[in-house]
Amino acid sequence: MQDFRKQADLDIADRIKLYYQASERLAAAIQAHTDYIMGETLSVEMVAEAAPEGAIKNLELISFDGEEVSLGLDVRR
């Protein structure tokens, strides 16, 4: 996620709304650790849906143990 923030040229203090689409198993893990993920990524909100038009989107699927997730974010300044 930190690389994603760097690629998007975000300031270290920028807060984000994080979007994700994941396999069922990975989505359950993300939901179980939402508070931790939000704290580590400086997210003010996390939603399990595709990033809307105009959001910054990850161009590649990210794989974890054969499970995949796509990410997107909106900057909240």
The pLDDT, as a whole number, for residue 6 is 80
Output the pTM of the full model.
0.85
Residue 18 has pLDDT above 90, yes or no: yes
The pLDDT, as a whole number, for residue 16 is 92
* Residue 67 belongs to domain spanning: 2-76
Mean pLDDT score, 49-55: 89
SS3 77: coil
- Residue ranges in the chain assigned as alpha helix (H): 2-7, 24-32, 34-41
How many domains in the chain?
1
The pLDDT, as a whole number, for residue 1 is 73
The pLDDT confidence band at residue 62, using thresholds 50, 70 and 90, is: confident
